[in-house]
Amino acid sequence: MSLAHDHRPQPGSIPPRHDWTREQVRALFALPFPELMFRAAVTHREHFDPAEVQISTLLSIKTGGCPEDCAYCPQAARYDTGVAAEKLMSLDAVLTEARAAKAGGASRFCMGAAWRSPKDRELDNVCAMVEGVKALGLETCATLGMLTGDQAARLKASGLDYYNHNLDTSPEYYGAIITTRTYGDRLDTLEHVRAAGINVCCGGIVGMGEGLEDRVGMITTLAGLPVHPESVPINMLVQVEGTPLATAAKNAAKLDPLDFVRTIAVARICMPASMVRLSAGREDMSEETQALCFLAGANSIFYGPKLLTTPNPGRDSDMALLDKLGLRPLT
């Protein structure tokens, strides 16, 4: 297939499937690595230009003090991780960060708040931020915890383009990671967001001690949603001292990088028209691992030195890597 081919979705192309079974997804994971990569790359080219990467910037607009018990999260108030609870940032401060993100090449600006769910007064402030960021010409994204239908409608009215709410893992493994909200609670929020007409950003985290079957279950669940998430972030666990998973990880083997690449490839095949985002954990990945992820169909990254509270590669190193691979930011 020529690289000069028009990589936009072609009229009459096969629509995405929503009936993937666990057996079928498991079979994809079991493919020989070259065959899996080939299938993922072909799928990618059917829907996207493989040389384009969408760049997003993520800002923590309200850090720490979260009442949830997510075992991976340094912002949970119950864990001693050195992350202090802070107040919601001011509108002016957020817009300053958004302007810098745009100047640095980002096309989407994501705002995250460490809440279980936002209160109405807090949502007023976030809606003002969304309106301000939108006026700068950036796509807007927020992750604020659980939402009601009315709250989702308000965010849509303010101009929110995307809402992030990850499933994190499989339904079966979820209880080992989080007990303060259910898997059903997460699915309910996704329904509210979709009903409001906001694009969905939903993925998960690997390397949390889950097994292959849990990665199969997570992707089967995501690919079985009535509409595939427009963005699917795949995160590698960042072990933060003080969180339960960091303690547990000391006695467990790290996920093999090739297993992470396989997860990216299977996500691309099962959700062919979604942006698959190479998200948290890139700081600990080699350039070779990241390159394989792009080859497997990842076409979005978070850009900037920090993802909420955890480290991320610097802008200069990211641009150098994209340049080395012949990739360019999506504009």
DSSP 282: G
Structure tokens at 118: 């936002």
Give catalytic status of residue 110 as yes or no.
yes
In this structure, are residues 24 and 60 in contact, taking their beta carbons and an 8 Å threshold? no
Catalytic one among 108, 181, 201, 262?
201
Task: List residues bridging with 143 in a β-sheet.
Answer: 112
* Known catalytic residue at 202: no
Which class for 250: exposed (0-12), middle (13-18), buried (19 or more C-beta within 10 A)? exposed
Q: How far apart are CA 47 and CA 273, in angstroms?
A: 6
Is 277 catalytic? The answer is yes
Orientation angle between helical segments 149-158 and 183-195, nearest 10 degrees? 40
78 CB-contact burial (10 Å; exposed 0-12 / middle 13-18 / buried 19+): exposed
Catalytic position from the list 39, 66, 202, 293:
66
- Measuring CA to CA, which residue among 55, 11, 18, 31 is closest to residue 272? 18
- Token pair 């967001």 in the structure block, residue: 193
73 counts as catalytic: yes
The active-site residue out of 73, 127, 202, 270 is: 73
Give the Å distances, CA to CA, from 214 to 20, 171, 199, 211, 310: 15, 8, 25, 5, 24
d(CA 223, CA 230): 11
Which one of 39, 110, 202, 270 is the catalytic residue? 110
Q: Tell me which of 127, 141, 270, 293 is the catalytic residue.
A: 141
**Residue 293 annotated among the catalytic residues of the structure:** no
> Of 108, 186, 277, 282, which is the active-site residue?
277
The residue annotated as part of the active site, out of 70, 202, 270, 293, is: 70
Active site residues: 66, 70, 73, 110, 141, 201, 277
